[in-house]
């Protein structure tokens, strides 16, 4: 049995979110949330929110024990890129890519 949650089109690059995902992969949910609470990155707040959502799905929809939950899979895939333009010298313009990501969390119960 597994519970999942996905946050789509989050305004953080998948590379930056992936670094945060690497910190908590395989950890218990409570331990992961404690790590993210003291991680000074913007993406850590978003990842924590997705983990909390997956934990709520596990408890309410699948009747899983909240104390035995761990992060079985967490990935930050690339989402759509918003393209903006910035004026530059001599009438030119350069493209600015505002990257987004899809963050997916899968929780499972530990076999104790």
pLDDT in tens, 10-23: 999 999 999 999 99
**Residue segments in the chain with a per-residue pLDDT below the cut of 50:** none
> 0.85 cut: is pTM over it?
yes
Please list, residue by residue across 29-62, b when 16 or more beta carbons sit within 10 angstroms of its beta carbon and e when fewer do: beebbebbeebeeebbebbbbbbebbbebbeeee
pLDDT digit string, tens, across residues 34-50: 999 999 999 999 999 99
Domains and CATH numbers, the chain: 2-109 (3.90.470.10)
Look at residue 54 in the predicted model and tell me its pLDDT: 97
| DSSP symbols for 41-70 | -HHHHHHHHHHHHHHHHHHHHH---GGGEE
């Amino acid at each position: 049995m597994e519970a999942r949650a996905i946050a789509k089109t989050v305004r953080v690059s998948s590379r930056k979110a992936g670094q945060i995902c690497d910190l908590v992969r395989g950890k218990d949910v409570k331990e992961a949330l404690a790590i993210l609470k003291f991680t000074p990155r913007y993406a850590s707040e978003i990842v924590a929110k997705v983990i909390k959502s997956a934990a709520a799905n596990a408890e309410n929809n699948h009747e899983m024990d909240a104390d035995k939950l761990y992060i079985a899979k967490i990935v930050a895939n690339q989402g759509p890129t918003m393209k903006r333009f910035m004026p530059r010298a001599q009438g030119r313009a350069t493209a600015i890519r505002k990257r987004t990501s899809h963050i997916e969390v899968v929780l499972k119960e530990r076999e104790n």
